[in-house]
Amino acid sequence: MATGHEEREFPLAEREFKTLCQLATNYAGIQLLGHGKEDMVYGRLSRRLRALGLDSFRAYVALLESDAGQDEFEHFINALTTNLTAFFREKHHFEYLASTVLPALMKRNAASRKMRIWSAGCSTGEEPYSIAMTVAECVPEHWDVRILATDLDSNVLAHAERGVYDESRVSGISKTQLHRWFMKGSGSEVRVKDRLRDMIHFRPLNLLHDWPMRGPLDVIFCRNVIIYFDNATKAALAARYAKLLHEDGTLFIGHSETLFKVSDDFSLVEKTIYQKCAL
């Protein structure tokens, strides 16, 4: 490809780079073509070449396109997805959930005493556990609250389901919440208490494929996910979210994302917080 990469361990030709980008787009909607993405792709996938004992990206592409490469495809996608997250990341979302969304749902759903929430792209679990903490502190315990947490990356999903974190990962949580919702684990680890774990159902899911769940859902968190998609995919995904949400359901997206000129199904109510538009 571009000059200046002669020191690279593995050769990566432009054709192979474009093929890898197309495979990622076809499978997961991830958009990788663009300025600066080549080095990222090289850095993340070169680890897979070493693990497999391959000597070039040409050989890696050939593996992915072969029948024998189906097992490798999961590692390929996992390597390319970014899983930066933290407990109560984008704090204003959880403040709005506690102050506005949950009180409204308790009033609207008083008869059924049910709430259904989806964390789409849950990564290592900090988001759904933050949602669960917020719900547990605002909603009576006898309510039936279920949080579906999904992710394309099987590795981070397994970490999330364990609910075990190093103490450094929970440094942003107040001492009161830490004592209330976590138990001391081995060494420097802490473990999420069962009350929160029991609210959450972790499942693997590719957002571009079929969705097994049925609506209506009350709330969807899909944060820092659609940033990877082109506008057509974003629009299609927003339409699917709208179809799944209750008539006044709430959608939370990431701080660098927007539905402006993407979807007419939602109206902006707060920064990166949307409500489904009435029919």
Check 44, 169, 180, 191 and give the catalytic one: 44
Q: How many domains does the chain have?
A: 2
Q: Give percent above pLDDT 90 in the chain.
A: 68
Query: How much is the average pLDDT of 34-63?
Result: 88
Residues 60, 130: one domain?
no
Residues 151, 225: one domain?
yes
pLDDT at 115 over 90: yes
Smallest Cα–Cα separation from 227: which of 203, 262, 202? 262
- Of 36, 53, 80, the domain-final residue: 80
Query: How much is the average pLDDT of 83-89?
Result: 82
The CATH number for 32's domain is 1.10.155.10
In a domain, 4, yes or no: no
In a domain, 3, yes or no: no
Query: How much is the average pLDDT of 59-77?
Result: 88
Q: Give the model confidence (pLDDT) of 4-40 as tens digits.
A: 455 689 989 999 999 999 998 887 777 776 656 788 8
Query: How much is the average pLDDT of 33-48?
Result: 81
Query: How much is the average pLDDT of 60-65?
Result: 94
Residues 49, 176: one domain?
no
In a domain, 5, yes or no: no
In a domain, 264, yes or no: yes
Check 116, 151, 218, 223 and give the catalytic one: 151
CA separation for the pair 201, 183 (Å, rounded): 20
In a domain, 30, yes or no: yes
pLDDT at 3 over 60: no
Residues 99, 68: one domain?
no
In a domain, 6, yes or no: no
Residues 271, 133: one domain?
yes
| Residues in Cβ contact with 64 at an 8 Å cutoff, skipping those fewer than 6 apart | 20, 23, 72, 73, 76
Tell me whether strands 266-270 and 273-276 are parallel, antiparallel or unpaired: antiparallel
The tokens for 229 are 């998609």
Q: Does residue 55 sit in helix, strand or coil? A: coil
In a domain, 185, yes or no: yes
Min mean pLDDT across 37-51, 68-82, 94-108, 222-236 is at 68-82
Residues 165, 67: one domain?
no
Query: How much is the average pLDDT of 188-212?
Result: 95
Residues 215, 104: one domain?
yes
Residues 193, 224: one domain?
yes
Tell me whether strands 182-184 and 189-192 are parallel, antiparallel or unpaired: antiparallel
Is residue 218 part of the annotated active site? The answer reads no
Give burial (CB, 10 Å; 0-12/13-18/19+) of 198. exposed
Residues 52, 95: one domain?
no
Q: Give the model confidence (pLDDT) of 243-266 as tens digits.
A: 999 999 999 999 889 999 999 999
The CATH number for 117's domain is 3.40.50.150
Min mean pLDDT across 99-108, 136-145, 166-175, 195-204 is at 166-175
Residues 268, 220: one domain?
yes
Residues 107, 179: one domain?
yes
Q: Which domain holds residue 242?
A: 91-276
CB 220 within 8 A of CB 245: yes
In a domain, 268, yes or no: yes
Residues 37, 150: one domain?
no
Which amino acid, one-letter code, is at 102?
L
Is residue 89 part of the annotated active site? The answer reads no
pLDDT level of residue 83 (50, 70, 90 thresholds): low
pLDDT at residue 5, rounded to an integer:
52
Sheet holding 266-270, edge to edge: 200-204, 144-151, 114-120, 217-222, 245-253, 273-276, 266-270
pLDDT at residue 35, rounded to an integer:
52
